[in-house]
Structure 1
């Protein structure tokens, strides 16, 4: 498989998505071959890219990504006999169809993320990272492995207008209009969960900021320069895997 088989726009998207898979591995947010990241094919509202099931995230290449349609059918001639992760299709297709502002969607099963998802109070406002999501995070009740198409409507309804969601007893989900936005969302959410679990493990009473501070801090994350911060944070993260570029862009 070569770059010539795809449009310039799709190949660029594939390279960015492959880099994102590797960054998720770099930051230890993987779960063997499970969990998934998807990206809508640029200029195409009917298809999106998802991982070739079975490829380790730290080995993902642009050519390993599979184009599927909104019904889960493989649309890539290079993978006509390949089945993608069924649960990945159910979760991601539902969001891509309902939320056109979320071109990239990430789902993880990290220890900290699942631990917080199993706590009755969910994500607590105990850190600056967590305050980014104050009144800005959704929750979805666990229904078993996401294999049923019937669950899509409930996933979408629970997500609402948010960009981040905690899947109860399951893990985390985050997304955004671009790869860099999605990465920023999952990184901040994952770090918030890690901090919460470590803070609780100390056994001391946790300090919760006032309501006014929580609300103000959440708003501060939406300030004008946030877009610039997200962009340079992505560039900084990508620099950490610069030595892998020839591989993930192949």
Structure 2
């Protein structure tokens, strides 16, 4: 997927690859309508710089993000590449920094405000076992009560307590925080969660949904692990979407 570095590049090969992958993810989200004006974030750890992360420039739409304008920050949201003219929405990084700092496996973190996921976060019972995709997540989601905009560090303790050993946190009345060991894995989790929520909204608008029994959910989740995925979780799906955005615009690679 990565475009070769220029000979005089200031980036390492590992950083440039991470930048291009993250820029591609932002463009994919824009294409799928998962953007929220200039808000929301997808962040990733840099593989070759401990304590450094990439985040979108505050003020750009997801469709404007490219590899070179992503901002490198430290764990507190401070800019590392000070020559980057764009700003960081530090308020939006508060929860990301918490999970990146405390969870070694949270390499990539996605927070969105899509209509479907926010709606499911805003009803009693949250995501229910009413469709194929929703069954993937039964007993896999954590929930956190709404406490207002997430800018207060003291909320962090409760966020971690409510998350527990799960890696998707549904912020009630707000939206999901999806974490992955890789960016493609986090992308695929978000895609499946989005579909599960969209279908739940459609189903509930039609009448009383059919709830899948717990024993059937258990069989479903067991059999999901039998699927062999080339390149690791999410890689094939992510690369397919990269090919789609390349047909629209390749400027994300720059």
TM-score by length of 1: 0.93
1:3 deviation in Å?
7.4
Any conservation in 2 of the 1:74–1:82 contact (CA below 8 Å)?
no
1:85 deviation in Å?
1.4
The answer for the alignment partner of 1:91 in structure 2 is 95
Structure 1 residue 210 corresponds to structure 2 residue 203 = no
The answer for the alignment partner of 1:71 in structure 2 is 76
Structure 1 CA distance for aligned equivalents of residues 7 and 74 of structure 2: 21
Structure 1 CA distance for aligned equivalents of residues 104 and 235 of structure 2: 21
1:156 deviation in Å?
2.1
The answer for the alignment partner of 2:239 in structure 1 is 235
Structure 1 residue 36 corresponds to structure 2 residue 41 = yes
1:177-196 maps to which residues of 2 (within 5 A)? 177-196=181-200
Runs of 4+ residues over 3 Å off in structure 1: 226-229
The answer for the alignment partner of 1:19 in structure 2 is 24
Deviates more, 1:95-104 or 1:218-227: 218-227
1:90 deviation in Å?
0.4
Residues 224 and 195 (structure 1), Cα distance of their counterparts in 2 relative to 1, 3 Å cut: closer
Deviates more, 1:31-40 or 1:149-158: 149-158
- When the two structures are aligned, how many residues end up with a matched partner? 248
Deviates more, 1:104-113 or 1:70-79: 70-79
Aligned CA RMSD, in angstroms, stands at 1.9
Residues 63 and 2 (structure 1), Cα distance of their counterparts in 2 relative to 1, 3 Å cut: farther
The answer for the alignment partner of 1:176 in structure 2 is 180
> Unpaired segments of 5 or more residues in structure 1?
none
Residues 2 and 117 (structure 1), Cα distance of their counterparts in 2 relative to 1, 3 Å cut: farther
Residues 5 and 244 (structure 1), Cα distance of their counterparts in 2 relative to 1, 3 Å cut: farther
The answer for the alignment partner of 1:150 in structure 2 is 154
Any conservation in 2 of the 1:94–1:153 contact (CA below 8 Å)?
no
